[in-house]
Structure 1
Amino acid sequence: MYSVLFEQVVHTDYGQFDLTWGEEFADGVGFNGIFEQFFKGQVNGLIGASDPAGLYVHFGRRSGGSSLRIILMEERPPDATDDALWEDIVEVSFTLPAGRKLKWSSWAAETSGTLDAILPGTYRLRASEKGRDEGAEGEFTEQLLDWYLLEIWPEPPRPDQILRSMSIDGQYWHRTLGEQHSKP
């Protein structure tokens, strides 16, 4: 079973979408431009999960609208690598502390809201992405070029993983943000 928590076209700038819960992000602004804060110790460069107060979701499209769907699952979904629809798939873990709500926001909190169905606890997030290259190349095009699915389910924490990396844009960010920051 699952619940769709969010399904809309998100207008971003700099490809920024944040999921936050820390008080330091009370104004809705998550990613602050310091990549090391969000990607330290990770191998993937698409979802920054090393900051204890939030996640940085990096879209391929710099500006414009991207389709985003966020689903809360009761348990781990089926193996993502069986679904050829998605070009890039990564997983990260996060902990929503007691007394906090999971908030979402686009760049500079131009749009924001809460995902009230996600209660405090430890979760795994799988980001499946399609169209990163098209989004990066046609960033100011009015039509939809890239799609993102975030599946969230309860699970103990474990290291981030790259399950599939087929887009040139995704591979670039893994090399630039992930692999670089995972080294001691």
Structure 2
Amino acid sequence: MQTLLDQVVPVHYHLFYIRSSDDWGDDLGKGGQANGLCGAAYPGSLTFTTGIHTGRVPVRVELHDTEPPLDPMWEEVVEASYRPDTADVHLAEWDGPSHPLPMPVRNYRVRFCGVAFDFDEDNFDPDAGDEPVDSPERYLVQFWPAPPAADRVVRETSPGAASWHRTARESPPPKSRKAREEEARRRRAEAAERDERSRLEHEARYWCGRTPSSPGLLAIAPDAVAVARFDRDLLDEIDAATPDVQRAMARWAARHICGLTGLTGQDWVGEGLAALDAGTPPPAAFRDFNAAFARLFEVREEDVVHRATVTVSNWSDGERPRPRIDPRTSALGAVIAARETDPLLAAISTVRLAAQALPDEAQATIAAFRGAFDLP
């Protein structure tokens, strides 16, 4: 005989456990059994019920080569079959540490013995914050090699134990491991399906009702979505155009917004637009946005500083606030954007800037754009 454990064990909710894996079901594993003190319905797991709700009880665990004799001192005795899932067998406290129990993986008979099961707890109320007490209860857990067999009540003397036995017999058996695994798989699949459905719905809202299938549009989502907010169908129509037509669209949008903002009358802007139409390198003023911005406001390029301000407004009056960005800066950005390496990005970016620069003219700009390229 080997003594695997002999110490005082903290008990909460009448429970302590012996486990060999992380799979111990979702209840106490006692439903459908003859006994209600040792739940053995889940493979690899045993759930032991004590008389005391919360406190400390002595527990001794023994491993025998053969069935040991039953000492008459034990008032409550039950037996069940047990087979560890792994060699990592341990006694587990409720939300506390584990104590290793070195046991080979094989079939065992387990005997759970107790004394003073109906210790009077009338003066102890865990819900009122009472401190745990030491109970006169004590328990013995014995293992020995044996083939699987039905659980049984060997000795019953207390009303408390009888009540637990009756509850176990009247409760339905727990689901099998296979059924629990299948249910867990089904729940994971349902959760994944819900997540995917939610993702697709969110994505469709983001794309103003319809997520594009075009990898090109998906790659430039922020610019593309901005255009979709003005005209969702226009997004797909620009995407369907050939690269040459997309370049032409970019040049048209850049020239259109420069005209609306009064920049085409300035020679240096005219030179930038002419170079764009001719497909020649940009003049120095349109080398990049900072250069164009410095030229427009007649400041040194090294003095240009980018700063962003976010304002949260309640548009309860139905009127969208006027943009604080000078529309001419959007026009300059359109001339720069028209030279993007990707023709689709060039077209989408310039149309976006043209529509956003002057919100009151946005729908007229979109209509003019459609007319210029015979779009429905």
Q: 1:156 aligns with which of 142, 147, 172?
A: 147
What is residue 92 of structure 1 aligned with on the other side?
80
The one-letter amino acid paired with 2:91 is W
- In the alignment, what sits opposite 1:180? 170
After superposition, the Cα gap between the structure-2 partners of 1:7 and 1:101, relative to the gap in structure 1 and judged at 3 Å, is same
Measured after TM superposition, the shift of residue 172 of structure 1 is 0.7
- Pick aligned residue for 2:111 from 126, 142, 152: 126
Aligned to 2:6: 7
Identity over the aligned pairs, expressed in percent?
A: 28
- How far, CA to CA, are the matches of 2:93 and 2:66 in structure 1? 27
Q: Give the SS at the match of 2:119.
A: helix
Given the superposition, is the C-alpha separation of residues 113 and 13 from structure 1 closer, same or farther in structure 2, using an over 3 Å criterion?
Answer: same
The alignment partner of 1:170 has SS state of: helix
Report the number of matched residues.
167
Q: Any idea what the Cα deviations from partners look like across 1:149-172, whole Å, max 9, x if unmatched? A: 001111001000100000111011
Q: Are the equivalent residues in 2 in contact too, given 1:19–1:103 (CA < 8 A)?
A: yes
Q: 1:7 touches 1:69 (CA, 8 Å); kept in 2?
A: yes
Q: Compared with structure 1, are the counterparts of its residues 31 and 60 closer, same or farther at alpha carbon in structure 2 (3 Å cutoff)?
A: farther
* Aligned residue runs from structure 1 range 26-175, under 5 A: 32=26, 34-35=27-28, 38-78=29-69, 80=70, 83-97=71-85, 99-108=86-95, 110-116=96-102, 118-134=103-119, 136-137=121-122, 142-175=133-166
Contact residue 60 and residue 135 of structure 1 kept, 8 A: no
TM, length-normalised to structure 1: 0.82
Alignment CA distance shift 1:43-1:132 (3 Å): same
**Which structure is larger by alpha-carbon Rg, 1 or 2?**
2
Higher strand proportion:
1
Whether the 8 Å CA contact 1:15–1:58 is kept in 2: the answer is yes
8 Å contact kept, 2:2–2:64: yes
CA distance in 1 between partners of 2:60 and 2:123 (Å): 21
**In 2, distance between residues paired with 1:85 and 1:137?**
25
Contact persistence 2:91–2:100 (CA under 8 A): yes
TM-score (norm 2): 0.42
Aligned-residue CA RMSD (Å): 2.0
4+ aligned runs moved over 3 Å, structure 1: 135-144
Map Cα deviations across residues 74-103 of structure 1 (whole Å, 9 max, x no partner). 11112x2xx331110000101123x43212
Change over 3 Å in CA distance of 1:158–1:91 after alignment to 2: same
More helix by share: 2
Give 1:63 deviation, angstroms: 0.4
